[in-house]
Chain A
């Protein structure tokens, strides 16, 4: 019989298993697709807040699927139940798979117990985007915030995630910060687990 004892040849490329595959997608192709996504949503809404919400919802769908995929690919992956565990998972593994590098930094907020921040000098999705002055504080990183929210929500850590520009002295371009605010029940569960 064909294939016995050898590596199985797949006649149809769609039958190939979901292996690691080529990790890279061309940046220009993604930037083009992303700019179309933003423009499409822009024609459908009247105000900035709605545009941000739509980008975030698009990212949420991506985040949910990325979590399933990563849990399956990293075969030894255990289910994260601790807050720091899931945060470092997002900060390193998810960022590495999506953007090819780990995020620049992960910090705990000082004012509130439930706030954490992931910072990046420049988000990959914002690379070819410049915001016109009349759009104020809008940040296309809302898409990435949506992805993070999708990952956290599917893993059982409901949170509110937003993207902000943080101006840094000494640099002309502001740093982007993803602010994660966890829901009450997450903190209660974390306190109970000790």
Chain B
């Protein structure tokens, strides 16, 4: 199940971080999200020509640690979505699907004329949609 999602802007400033466990290691999750930003930058700046195609939005597994897996997704405007999950067997298609819905919620939040690009996302509707998507991710991959 997903323990943390984060939206990071193009200057690596955090726009939205939300953790979904009752445990108190929110700081550790924030730290992992921060470290994974380096991996994203490295993938973007040194594309492996033989690897995944250049300019792909879904970056895939960024790095696995002992308990967690971190996935990344990059949009057209260099805004990054980072997802930390504890599942050991997560299907690629599930994560892509999750990112697609997350991207839809993000576009909706940004289209708000009162949202200043570059500032944190404060919309409650966005927070609710994200928690709905996160909950349904757990169900679809278990079922």
Which A residues contact B (CB, under 8 angstroms)? 17-18, 61, 64-65, 67-72, 75, 77-81, 154-156
Which chain B residues lie closer than 8 Å to A81 at the CB level?
54-55
Q: Mark B75-98, 1 if CB is under 8 A from A, else 0.
A: 111110000000000000000000
Please tell me if the beta carbons of B77 and A64 are within 8 angstroms of each other in the complex.
Answer: yes
**Which residue of chain A is the closest to B78 with respect to CB atoms?**
A156
A155 to B79, CA, bound (A): 10
Contact of B113 among A18, A61, A69, A156 (CB under 8 A): A61
A65 to B111, CA, bound (A): 6
Interface residues on B, range: 20 to 34
Which chain B residues lie closer than 8 Å to A77 at the CB level?
57, 76
Which chain A residues lie closer than 8 Å to B56 at the CB level?
78
Which chain B residues lie closer than 8 Å to A155 at the CB level?
76-77
Query: Given A154-B77, A155-B77, are A68 and B57 neighbors across the interface (CB < 8 Å)?
Result: no
Which B residues contact A (CB, under 8 angstroms)? 10, 53-57, 74-79, 100, 103-104, 106-108, 110-111, 113, 117
B interface: dominant SS: loop
Please tell me if the beta carbons of B76 and A68 are within 8 angstroms of each other in the complex.
Answer: yes
| CB proximity of B12 to chain A, nearest CB, Å | 14
Query: Given A17-B104, A79-B55, A79-B57, are A71 and B75 neighbors across the interface (CB < 8 Å)?
Result: yes
| CB proximity of A114 to chain B, nearest CB, Å | 22
A61 to B111, CA, bound (A): 9
Interface centre among A17, A65, A69 (most CB of B within 10 A): A65
Please tell me if the beta carbons of B77 and A67 are within 8 angstroms of each other in the complex.
Answer: yes
| CB proximity of B69 to chain A, nearest CB, Å | 24
**Which residue of chain B is the closest to A66 with respect to CB atoms?**
B111
